[in-house]
Structure formats: C-alpha cells, structure tokens
Amino acid sequence: MRFRKLLGTLLAGLATAHGSLAHAMPRHVDVVLQPGKIHEDCFALQPRQQVQYNFKLERPARFNLHYHRGKEVFYPIRSESVSEQKGNYVAAVAQDYCLMWSGDKEGDNKLGYEFVVVEPGLTKP
C-alpha cells in the first residue's frame, strides 16, 4: 500500500514538472505572414518567469506581446514597424501571453522566430 501511495505521489510530481517544462527548450518557428493576417504563438507565464524571444522578418511589420484580462487587452511590448527584434519580458502576473505579428497588405512576409520560457533566476545558455 505504501508503494502505491509513493508511486502516485511521484507520478503526480512528474506530471506537474512536465507542465512547467513545456517550453524549457527553445521553440523555433518559420512561417509566412499573409497579407492582412496575423500569426500568434501563446504560452503561460507565472510571476517572475520570463520569455526570451527573437525574430526576423523579410520586411517590417507590427509586433506585440499581449495578454487578455476579461475584455481588455494589455500590451507589455508593442512595435509598429520592425523587421527584427530580440528581447525578454518578466511576468508580473500569471497569464497566458501571446507573441503576435500582423502582416501588411503588400504581400507575403517571411517570419522566423524563436522563444523560450525561463524560470526565475535562470538565463538561456
């Protein structure tokens, strides 16, 4: 009986750890922004966790990091016309955050980006 209880505790701990490690490895994505469309990549951050990101576009476009609280949208980072950017954001509150790029009407725009969620006090190697 003790073994089953111990095994259950260990499995629950692994399940919790797996959820927090969902973005422990950098995520790299290459996409094509279509005219007038958006591309969004969302993830959860807990207080003091940070997201480190970088991206490069073929042509300048709009970029933001945002989250929703009810019907309100908050933009901790917003760039109106940028072709590449590297940065990080440390969360003050637990939220689902989204990196978002908006395509212009001039045609397809190639986008390559990478991001990683980092635990408090750690930095990406």
Q: How high is the mean pLDDT in each 10-residue block of the chain (125 residues)?
A: 42 39 76 96 96 97 96 96 97 96 94 95 60
Position 8 in a domain: no
Whole-number pLDDT of residue 21: 43
Residues of the domain holding 44: 23-118
46: in domain: yes
Inside any domain, residue 9: no
Q: Answer yes or no: is 28 within a domain.
A: yes
Report the CATH number at residue 106. 2.60.120.680
Q: How many domains does the chain have?
A: 1
b or e along 62-95 (b: 16 or more beta carbons within 10 Å of the residue's beta carbon)? ebbbbbeeeeeeeeebeeeeeeeeeeebebeeeb
The answer to whether residue 47 is domain-embedded is yes
